[in-house]
Amino acid sequence: MTGSAAPAAGHPAIAGRTDGARSRGGRPSRADAEQLADRIIEAATELFFSLGYGATTIEAVARRARVSKRTFYHRFADKSALFSAVVRRTIERLRPPADVPLLHGANLAEILRRLADIVLRAALSPPAIALHRLIIAESSRFPDLAAVVTHQGASEEGIRLIGGLLEREARAGNLALDNPTFAAQQFLHMVIAGPQRRALGLGTPMTSVEIEAWVGDVVNLFLNGCRGWRRDAPR
């Protein structure tokens, strides 16, 4: 952005620059429409992560994306819908490639170490930390923000994947568990919470070597606890 005054959004000289190339019928082609939506999401991501949810306006996003407000509202109903799209895009980029096998390893410990390493390194990536920081800072004023992140399904997918793995092991008699879903939730919390707090500034961020050691220790503690667990007798 330059310091010079910008022409009005409807000015014919910038119509193509702001709203993309047009098809012969006057409407953007599907590819152009997708590029416009991508540009808006990218602009919104930068503003949400740098300014926060409350301070980011539709007008600012439209200016950053070089589109008119009319073009914006053709694609997103409101700021909440835009934030949902930003979260979805952020989470999708944190996922491992589709061709990367997740449940891979010679035994349960190796599989869990691999999963924990993938999950933790994604959770400590700059976009994930920026999103987490945003939710913490804004959730008291905008309580629906955390729900948006939850509804995108990344954590739920991880819990289902790990819970299913633990359930199979429990049925085979290799683990003493009666609630694999709860165990999967606690496992992910053990993996992520401490390193994430340090990455947020509550301590020194972990090195790659420390992350590897952390993952091994968590898996060891978790599995030893599951193997030795017994339900308390009724009181």
| 178 neighbors 107 (Cβ within 8 angstroms) | no
Give CA separation, 195 vs 6, 88, 208, 225, in Å: 45, 23, 11, 21
User: Against a cut of 0.85, is the pTM above it?
Assistant: no
* Domains, the chain: 15-92 (1.10.357.10), 98-228 (1.10.357.10)
Q: What is the per-residue pLDDT across 115-153, written as a single tens digit (0 to 9) for each?
A: 999 999 999 999 999 999 998 888 888 888 877 777 665
Residue 13 pLDDT more than 50? no
Residue type (1 letter), 188: L
Instruction: Give the model's pLDDT for residue 94.
Output: 87
**Terminal alpha carbon distance of the chain:** 68
Instruction: Give the model's pLDDT for residue 64.
Output: 95
Q: What is the per-residue pLDDT across 22-36, written as a single tens digit (0 to 9) for each?
A: 544 456 667 777 788
Closest among 132, 138, 156, 133 to 55, alpha carbons compared: 138
| 215 neighbors 113 (Cβ within 8 angstroms) | yes
